Structure 1
Amino acid sequence: MKAKIAILGLAIAGTLASCNKGGFKKSDVGFMYNIHTDANGEKIKEGDFVKFNMIFKTDKDSVLQSSYQMKRPFEVLVKIDTAMDKEHVMSALTMLGKGDSATFKISTDDLFKGAPEGARPKFLPKGSSLLYTIKVEDVKSKAQMETEFKAKRDKQNAIDKAPIDAYVAAKKLNVTTTASGLRYVITTPGAGDQIKDGDTVIAHYSGTLLNGTKFDSSYDRKEPATFLINEHAVIPGFYESLKLLKKGDKGVFIIPSALAYAEQGAGTIPPNSPLVFELEVIDVKAKK
């Protein structure tokens, strides 16, 4: 149960740091805060990417999650989409800037208000609080992140070019190349409108490495998968691929590693691995 609360803490959070130079104050939207360090820089705004270290604990000093223990900072895109964002975390982030640190305190009574019986963990009794102590390490605008991503993508695409060229030649594929470096060919045309943001797509797929090693397949499971376009639950190249299709389309998509798992790799997928997907769109449900 502590793990669930830790995950909830990351979702609710995004903002704080340690020390304690005075009492807590109440924000305009209700949460309590204590600013420890103010570097007098530009404050975080919606759309910024923020890197921060965080200690998430109970008011009894029981640590539930710590980026210092994990040895890597958290990174979030600041968005205020929900009531929880507005009332807690994301609003709290906008009170800080690069180099700032603070502690934010949230009442568990507020957090579990309206929750079903038994949802509240025993180690968070009524009247208790959760504290997020955060130090903001870096803040980048959307434009800065896009510039950095493009430079990184171009460098990675240069690494991938030779093996992808060899694969295309060996398979005798007449591919189209997008601006991002994705290569594709529609093998069976469908009909209808192009898939767009907000659509729900039901599709079959099979994913392999360039050497033919299969790492995933909905065909093997005998059940198509469902994707909400722009949900950001899968790699960028997969979403770009889907948005090039219509209902009934089948195609082959060669995704450069910069649009997949880049130098990190994932599971059985080695670092710097371009991926090949065979995609078949079964159905498209437009956003209502």
Structure 2
Amino acid sequence: MPSNNIPHYLYKRNHTWWFRKRFVSEGNAIEYRLSLQTASFQRARLLALRLQTLCQQMVASLGAPKKLKNGVMDKSAQEQIRAKLRAKIAEWTAEETEHWFCGSTRNEGDLNDYLETLDMVVSDLKERIAYDDKPSLHRAEANTVLDELPHLKATLSEYDYQVIARMVAQAKVKSLQDTRSIILGGDAGWLSSSQTTEPSVTEEPIDTLTISKLLDLYTEHNKAKGHSKRTKKKYEWYGALLLSSFGDVPVHTITGAMGREFYDNITKLPVGLQKEVLLASKLSQLIDN
């Protein structure tokens, strides 16, 4: 498997996949390593994503940059950086879409693989934004845009570099999302003549929504994203897993204890369960059997 398709939080040692994640808290770097005890890439990725959920709870406070007393960019600098990033988004999107459309003849499998790679890169970038776990890259990331605005560098603090680095990463996410949309026949956000607001997922009070209703709304909301057949099937399977575990109950009735039981059950999940089987039986019964 090409190394650029492997998430940065996974690596292989002696034919076994390992989870690795580095966090920075109050200036101290902490790295967690854990053997996932499997040679299957798909299972390793699933286990790693579960571990990251736990890690995210541990470092939730790292989601936003730490603000220093002496570092706030003036509005003029902010506007210059935002304008340059909008231009960068258009440039990166054009390069990536040209790379796709100028290639040799593509089939559905090539498209699915390409979209899955895009989704993985976006996921990794979003992780990096959320965890802010690579402070050593702040300046290099920020210089992606500041090299074209050299007059600003002398006025910036370390905190400013941290903020700009996050802005650049967010711009890259936007570019990849626009690329995905264009390849699937839609329009990129930066091509629109006016800004449109995201439609609200639902106007209904939360206490009237059941799990199946919420899943239907989520599916409807995702239609505009043009997901591949493979991605749609994954979402359908995850929905069946929720219904098998909780039943079609109002969402607000799901408690923390039920969530912990659900997490414990998915670690015991039998391999190869089909959506139809999940919808026909309770998850706890499937595990017992």
User: What is the TM-score with the length of structure 2 in the denominator?
Assistant: 0.22
Work out which structure has the larger RCO, using CA pairs closer than 8 Å and 6 or more positions apart in sequence.
1
Which of the two has greater helix per residue? 2
> Is the radius of gyration larger for structure 1 or structure 2?
1
Which of the two has greater strand per residue? 1
